[in-house]
Amino acid sequence: MKRIFLFLVAVIAIHATANAQELFERLDTSKVYEVELVEIMTTGAKSITPVAHDNLSKEAIIRSSYGTDIPTALALTPSIIATNETGVGIGATSIRLRGTDATRINVTINGVAMNNPDSHSVYWYDTPDLISSVGTVQVQRGAGVSTNGTGAFGGSVAMTTDALTTDFGGSASLSYGSYNTNKQALHLSSGLIKDHWVVDARLTHIGSDGYIDRGSTDLKSYMLQAGYYGSNTKVKLLSFGGVAKTYLTYNGVSREDMALYGRRYHDSGQYETSDGPYVLADGTHVDYYDDQTDNYLQLNNQLVVNHRFNHQWQLNATLFYTYGYGYYNQYKEDAWLAGYTNLTTDVEEADLIRHKKMRNHLGGLNAAATYNTSSLDLTFGGSWSYYTCPHWGTLSWVDGMDRDAVGGRWYDNDVMKQDANIFARADWSIYRGAEDELHLFGDVQYRYVHYKAWGTNDNAIWGDEGVTMQPIDVDEKYNFLNPRVGLSYINGRHSLFASAAIAHREPTRSDFTDRHMFASDDSYPKPERLTDIEVGYTYKSPRLTLGVNLYYMLYRNQLVATGMVNDGDDALNTNVDKSFRRGVELAASWQTTKWLTLSANATLSENKILDYVDQLKDSPTFGQNLGTMTISYSPSVMGAVMADFHIAGFDALWRTQYVGKQYFTNNETEALSLDGYCVTNVDLGYTLTTKAEQRVRFGLRIENLFSTLYESNGYGYSYMWDGERYDEAFYFPQAPINFLANVTINF
């Protein structure tokens, strides 16, 4: 049934494209047009949709396009925390929403999922400066509406690329700041060609030395768009991506090492050498392997078709293909050679340089049809994608061995994943009076997932017969039904909504492959189930907006972080039987004058596991029922206050954010926690407009204005050794006050 449905949608899309020429009409070029983006609204919520959501303004997007990654902009919305490994907001960045990590936050652009199908993560540095090409950003909190890709367990981020313009023009942007952070970008648009064609292109380079020692980032990216527009049919081809090279900083730093060597220290790539230029506290001479890097190429391609049959019916279809290839270079000191099965040697330990590689292909089709009348909006559609990704490892050097003796692969495995869904969504205006209206919302999605992984993993297993590489043999199929229902009521300045949703999510690759590192048995992880209930109220007048949202998220078999990470910095998660997140989100905005707006938001929450039984085999509390425990990485308090000032071309944004205490593990261990922090950032700008309507914007971003000493993220775990307990914790310190200046010329 699913294949027939998707085939019919594809036929309709091809037929619409083939007959588009008959429907094209000349655009009236005597007027100034902005050619409308082929927007994919199937993953977005409307103002009346009973879902907690916020739309990021275009001004906020522009302010965040100096060179920092998209999480910096997303953190402007309620309940979101941005984290960063290099300390300056560039490189390895991520977000958490309502305490859930990035693998549970669904991200789409033009309706195409950006989460890696295998790890479920979004690696923002693989698409550098994407924010400069984004037109709209919507953050949905909770289960949200039906989307493509992995399930939304904390929320979702729906983005569209920016609209094309009919006028020839472009921009040039330069940024420079602390720690040699820099950006150079050039954007050109052809304007309307022969009444129908538009071509748009952007090239960007972003670099930084990072606050963390050797935390360098070198990112090169492009965006190319070509659109063909008629009165009823729009076709758009776009390609974006880039090449990323970042120094590996994901191992963090302990508080003990920070006290000895400073907050910028980390030991990735470090090795002992008699004539090393650096000396540790105990007098040991060390040096660093300067190519301890993550290297990745990603190319995203989309063909988007939008056809309007009449005033009521419209069809959207997107064909997409993403290619990725990447590898780590890692220096490993005193590596145990028995764990590298491609070597034949009697030597037990030696220094070596290894490479962990992957190559992935993701292709598929999204399609949706919409039907609109004055009282009913109906959307139905679906998506299908196919993903493959081999993983393998090689060695380029082993101390004391000839190069010819280190060939071959020390692990080799492959992944296949099919992901398909069909959905139907309706928004029915069941009552419209002179001053009020009532809407009923319904959304149901069926999702099918087939995940298969086979081969050998990069983990060495010690057994009675010696050392072997961990075998991988996963072949799991999931059938998920995700219903949503809600009501929204609007009466003048007041609006109220209530909704209930059920969502499901499959485990990630590391949930399967690295479970043996902490689990006491050989069982597979279970899929998660979420029941999300939300009630929200908003008051909106011309100058004052107030909002409150109550949420109760009840989980079954939630995969919560243990505080441990694998060799690639992926969090190791374990299922807990029953858990919940519940809280209140508050928001207020007051336009005090034409030139000053004050706003604030806060989230107060409880995030608990019920009857938590510690199943980590090396944990000091293994097998114990610890009762009700706080879920890891889930602050009970977070909030922000903002002041937005703008007058006569000058603008300024003051933002102070507070994030409460977070535990790394689920047994509330003080030694394994992240202290709460309060940090202030300021954005200053001045826009100069010439007589020719050209604009020059000068900007200055001041991060961490008061030089707060804080860490945005970390990890840690406890274990027993020789009858003694050990707590290991590692942190990612953020830079003290730092600056980033920008000038952008629009022509």
pLDDT at res. 396: 95
Secondary structure of residue 22 in the 3-state scheme:
helix
Determine the Cα–Cα distance for residues 132 and 67; give it in Å rounded to an integer. Answer: 9
Determine the Cα–Cα distance for residues 203 and 670; give it in Å rounded to an integer. Answer: 47
Task: Give the bridge partners for 417, in sequence order.
Answer: 387, 451
Considering only CA atoms, which of 408, 395, 410 is closest in space to residue 459? 410
Q: Evaluate whether 382 touches 317 at the Cβ level (below 8 Å).
A: no
Span 419-454, pLDDT tens digits = 999 999 999 999 999 889 999 999 999 999 999 999
* All structural domains of the chain with their residue ranges: 2-746
CA torsion, ordered 86, 732, 94, 444, to nearest 10 deg: 170
Considering only CA atoms, which of 406, 276, 389 is closest in space to residue 335? 406
Q: Evaluate whether 553 touches 581 at the Cβ level (below 8 Å).
A: yes
Read off the DSSP letter of residue 35.
P
pTM over 0.85: yes
Span 371-415, pLDDT tens digits = 999 999 999 999 999 999 999 999 999 999 998 889 899 999 999
Secondary structure of residue 193 in the 3-state scheme:
strand
Considering only CA atoms, which of 172, 222, 228, 171 is closest in space to residue 199? 228
What number does CATH give the domain 2-746?
2.40.170.20
pLDDT at res. 41: 56
Determine the Cα–Cα distance for residues 110 and 134; give it in Å rounded to an integer. Answer: 10
Give the up-direction half-sphere exposure of residue 236: CA atoms within 13 A in the CB hemisphere. 28
Which amino acid, 150?
Answer: T
Q: What angle do CA 682, 684, 687 make, to 5 degrees?
A: 160
Give the up-direction half-sphere exposure of residue 58: CA atoms within 13 A in the CB hemisphere. 6
pLDDT at res. 42: 66
Largest CA distance in the chain: 87
Q: Tell me the backbone φ, ψ of residue 463, rounded to 5 degrees.
A: -135, -175
Read off the DSSP letter of residue 62.
H
Task: Give the bridge partners for 497, in sequence order.
Answer: 488, 536
Q: In this structure, what token pair is assigned to residue 346? A: 């009697």
CA distances from 683 to 66, 484, 595, 652 (A): 11, 39, 15, 5
Q: Evaluate whether 288 touches 277 at the Cβ level (below 8 Å).
A: no
Q: Rg for the chain (alpha carbons), in Å?
A: 26
Which residue ranges in the chain fall short of pLDDT 70? 1-42, 464-465, 692-693
Q: Tell me the backbone φ, ψ of residue 71, rounded to 5 degrees.
A: -55, -30
